Amino acid sequence: MSNHNTQTSKYLSYILRHRPDEIGLELDASGWADVDSLLVCAAEHGHEMSMELLEEVVATNDKQRFEFSEDHATIRARQGHSIKVELGYQPTVPPDVLYHGTADRNIESIKQQGLVKGQRHHVHLSGSQETAMKVGKRYGKPVLLTIASGRMHAEGLVFYRTGNNVWLTDRVPAEYIARPEEA
């Protein structure tokens, strides 16, 4: 992804997940924004982008963070919102094990509280160790946590899977978390 595409992707993440109001953009209850409105509002706030650039960013984003409606008239972030949206994902049975990447400085807190969603709607988990480690590296020295997701589900905790294969849950209690050397 080019530097311009990366900057556009970061801008879209900020606007579509956290602050649409900053540019006067309205999202519907499911997090969808009208593409034409997004382009106009972004331009009015110094972020010119074309439909072609938007389509390229959505298509080439390595984490597939965004999606268009079938007719490309609306766009939304798939997950990671700090604003109130109802993404409409259905409860799904997870695999027996999922992963979460974090920074080593968070381990003591995680041992006490488990994984909590903080300002987001859900805790994000991955089916891939590699992806989880990439996420952990963004925050410091990475640590890979193994989540007993199958056991969690069997004991009544609910999971959702996004269109880009991110697993979401409300929380992960500490008793379901192991570091690799503990797994």
Q: Give me the domains of the chain, ranges plus CATH numbers.
A: 3-77 (1.10.10.970), 98-178 (3.20.170.30)
pLDDT tens digits, one per residue of 77-111? 988 888 888 878 899 999 999 999 998 898 999 99
Neighbouring residues of 178: CB distance < 8 A, sequence distance ≥ 6: 145, 146, 148
Six-digit token pair at 105? 């400085």
37 class by beta-carbon count within 10 Å (0-12 exposed, 13-18 middle, 19+ buried):
middle
Residue 56 is predicted with a pLDDT of 93
How confident is residue 182, by pLDDT bands cut at 50, 70 and 90?
A: very low
Q: Where does 114-178 have alpha helices with state H?
A: 129-137, 149-154
pTM for this one?
A: 0.70
Residue 180 is predicted with a pLDDT of 59
